[in-house]
Structure formats: structure tokens, C-alpha cells
Structure 1
Amino acid sequence: MKFLFLLFTLTAVSASALADTGHGQSHQSEPAPSRTIDIQAGSMWFDADKLQIEPGKTVRFRIENVSMIPHEFSIGSGRMQQMHREMMQQGGDHHGAEGSDKMMGDHHNGMMDHGETQSAAVTIAPGETETLIWTAPEQGDVIEYACFLPGHYEAGMKGTVTLNSNA
């Protein structure tokens, strides 16, 4: 009986400790996506090379890799995309190895354009579908999406986003 009482007490204390996640801090959740955009990534192509997205709206990209090789879907301002492309060309290629999805999370999650347009990216294994949530800026520079795996961008795996309030 003492064992059951001790087990119950420890369970209750643990649940209480886990429930206290903020210590008075406010947590902002990301806005729910207002739209889902399906994109296919094939052998050196995306099935769309131009998208229209309403400024300030959060969208869900569902990217399906229909090819036999890995791809990346990276979206952000032209400046951030250029920085990402240069990093990948300088040996920042962390794709293709077993377990690279875990490493990609560390690199891609939270890429920011220092107060400008948020950038984000995801790697998609052959035959897989990945989801990426992204919020369009209220205004700004050219928004681009691309695959920066070596040779993919140069082969045409890129597109642009037009900010359009009628999208």
C-alpha cells in the first residue's frame, strides 16, 4: 500500500513540475496557417516557379519529393537566399548522409534575415513529403524559394514569391 501511495505521489509531483513550463513568461505560438501550398520537387525542378502569397499571412508548404535524389526547399529574402547558397557552395553541404534530417533541423530552423524577412528551409528525402510553416513579410524585397544542394539551383530549382493582397 505504501508503494502505491509513493508511486501516486511521485506521479502527481512529476506531472505538476512538467506542467509548469513558463515561470511567468509568456509564450507566443505561431499563427495558424491560412493556406496550404502543395509543391512537387522533381529531378531538378519545382512544379511551380511563381507563387503569390498575401503579405503577413502564414502558409503551410507541403513539399513532395517525387525524384530519386534528396532536395531542399528554402524560402526567404533574396539576400538570405544568397547567403545560404554561398554557405552551401563553401562546403556547408550537410545533406545526403544518413541522419541528415536531424542535422538539418539545427541549421535550417530559425534562419532569420536580421529583422527583415524570415527564412526557413527543409530537406526532403526521395519519395518523402515534408511540411514547412512560413509567414510572409508585410512588405519587402524579392522573396525566393530554391534548392541549394550542389547543382540544383543552377539547374533551375528556384522560384519567386510575389506579395499580393489578393492571393
Structure 2
Amino acid sequence: MISLVAVSPAFGAGIEAARAAYDKGNYGLALSLYQECAEQGSLEAQYAVGLLIHDGKGTPADPVLAVKWVQKAAEQGYAEAQLCLGSFYFDGDGVKADYELSVQWYLRAAKQGNLDAIFNMGFMYENGLGVALDCDKAREWYEKAAAQGDQEAIEVLEYFSCREYANVASLR
């Protein structure tokens, strides 16, 4: 499902209509409505178009084209798109796998407070993917996520064995 946040007044009616079409399973109409808003500059709509194209909803799936739409929103600062683009690079989905680029996009989203991106930064440091393995930085990122209530981060910290076990009692 497409998870979209606050609607800009400039695109409000189009975004709401696109959401309604999506919720009714009319993906072709949703794609068309999102695309109209995307072409007018809505970052949320650009991201949504990318997801619909990626998932083949309303159009044949096209991971390469999906990346282009998601990247358009990511480059303009849309945190959800930055997280998604980081995942595309992590998985090699529509692009060549590149952990360093994955980290760059996760970091941009994490700096905006995106909880999944914060967790992912911990994972990247813990495993030395796209960055040098650094247990202290991994723990810092996991602790940031856990402090915001991320259950997965809390569980990781309970069993964190990179160097030492974390004291997560204060995070519960």
C-alpha cells in the first residue's frame, strides 16, 4: 500500500482523488491522477508514481522507470523516496546494487528522522555494507531508532554482539 503523508494544498484534490482510486483498486486511474500531480511538481505524487510503476499497478512493472520517478522525489528531499531509493540500491532493484549509494540515500532520509532509514544505517555499519564496519556507529544508529520506539532496533540491541551487549532497559 502506498503510505503518503500530508497533502500540499496545491495538489490536495488530485492527491486525494488518486488515493481514493488506489483504495478502490483502480490503479490505472490512480496512476494517471498521481502522474498529473507529479508532473506539476508534487514530490509525494512522484514517489507514488514510482511505487505504482515498480509494483506493476496500473501499468506493466518497470523497475528502471520506477527508480527514475522515485529518484526525482528523493533528490528534492522527500524522505520516503530517499529511503526507497536506498533500498533499490541495496537490493539492486532497477539499478545496479551499490551499498555506498544505498548508505548515501539512507543517510539523507535518516537525517530527516525517517525511522526505517535510521535502523538501516545501524544495519549497514554493523555489517560493513557501503561503510567500514563500525560497531560503535552501528550501536548509535540502533539506539537512535530504539529511542524513538522502533521495536526491531530494541530487539537488535538486546542481542547486539558486535562488541558488547547493550543496556536497553531504559529504552523500554
TM-score category by the smaller chain?
A: under 0.3
Greater length-normalized contact order (CA 8 Å, ≥ 6 residues apart):
1
The normalised TM-score by structure 1 is 0.25
- Whichever structure has more strand as a proportion of its residues is 1
Q: TM-score, normalised by structure 2?
A: 0.25
Larger radius of gyration: 1
Structure richer in helix, relative to its length: 2
